[in-house]
Amino acid sequence: MPATTLSCLRQRELLLEPGTNYTMTQNSWDELATGWDARADTRLYAERAFESWNRKIAPLVSDLTESRVLDFGCGTGLLTEKLAPLCGHIVAVDISAAMIDVLQSKVINKRIGNITPLVTAIDTAAINENPELSEKFDVVVASSVCGFLPDYNLTLRDLSSTLKPGGLFVQWDWLSEMPIERIRGAYKESGLINLGVEEAFAMTMEDESMPVVLGVARSPI
């Protein structure tokens, strides 16, 4: 999650009674959608994620121009837009209708022909019932979303079921929320082949350096 969002969460936590847990709901994400693209840190996070894609992921994939890519938890599509020129087609999904509205407007205004925005969670029913999800993907990306899932391992199993044999799963998350061992364990449990889980970059918030972990795994052939 970009640092400003974390900052928002901390501010909300301060407003809550001590001991009250604050968790992000679909509505909380909806509230953040309008200002998302105007924030310097959300844009910087996407830029750094894309830089790390070019450094670490691009060498693993030859040519994506015919590929089908799933961007899970795409938000307003800050990373989706950067990946789109490299990819055949991107199905960009999010549970927040407001986030998807922002992406849909950009797709129309910028005439981006290869992004299909979709409001949906990812579970077995959604995958089976929606033809956009049931056709297998070459790559699944998840940028700053896995740390917010109620059951990361379960969703990872669902996401890995959408991959073609040999397809890639790529995730970026705050290291503090998604320790490296947790990610490695989830890859093993879901049958994915771990290609590397490591710190990719760091964001600075209130003089604090917040490392971001990049995890990459492959679906067995």
Ligand X SMILES: C[S@@+](CC[C@H](N)C(=O)[O-])C[C@H]1O[C@@H](n2cnc3c(N)ncnc32)[C@H](O)[C@@H]1O
Beta carbon nearer to ligand X, 30 or 193: 30
Q: Of these, 1, 64, 115, 186, which contacts ligand X (CB under 6 A)?
A: 1
Of residues 87, 99, 140, 214, which one binds ligand X by CB under 6 A? Answer: 99
Binding flag, residue 74, ligand X (CB under 6 A):
yes
User: Which of 145, 74, 146 minimizes the C-alpha distance to 106?
Assistant: 74
Phi-psi region of 130 (alpha: psi -120 to 50; beta: other; left: phi over 0): beta
Find the shortest distance in angstroms from Cβ 76 to ligand X.
7
Distance CA(202)–CA(221), nearest Å, equals 33
Distance of alpha carbon 202 from alpha carbon 219, whole angstroms: 28
Cβ proximity to ligand X: between 31 and 198 the closer is 31
Q: Of 4-43, which residues contact ligand X (CB under 6 A)?
A: 5, 29, 42
- Write down the least CB distance from residue 172 to ligand X, Å: 7
3-state helix, strand, coil in the chain (%, to 5): 45, 25, 30
Report the DSSP pairing between strands 68-72 and 208-218.
Answer: unpaired
94 touching ligand X, by CB under 6 A: yes
Size of the site for ligand X (CB under 6 A): 22
**Residue that has been written with the tokens 């033809």 in this structure:** 131
Q: Which residues of 20-35 are buried (b: 16+ CB within 10 A; e: fewer)?
A: eeeebeeebbbebbee
Q: Which residues lie closer than 8 Å to 194 by C-beta, 6 or more apart?
A: 184, 187, 188, 216, 217
CB of 122 to ligand X, least distance (A): 6
Q: Binding string, 104-143, against ligand X, x = CB under 6 A? A: -----------------xx--------------------x
Residue 42 or residue 219: which is nearer to ligand X going by CB?
42
Give dist(CA 208, CA 73) in Å, integer: 26
Q: How far is the CB of 82 from ligand X (least distance, A)?
A: 10
Count Cα atoms within 13 angstroms, Cβ side, for 159: 32
Task: State the residue number with the nearest CB to ligand X.
Answer: 75
Least CB distance from residue 221 to ligand X, whole Å?
28
Site for ligand X contains 96 (CB under 6 A): yes
Rg over CA atoms, the chain: 17
Q: One symbol per residue from 136 to 155: x for binding ligand X (CB under 6 A), - otherwise; what is it? A: -------xxx--xx------
Per CB under 6 A, residues contacting ligand X are 1, 5, 29, 42, 45-46, 73-75, 78-79, 94-96, 99, 121-122, 143-145, 148-149
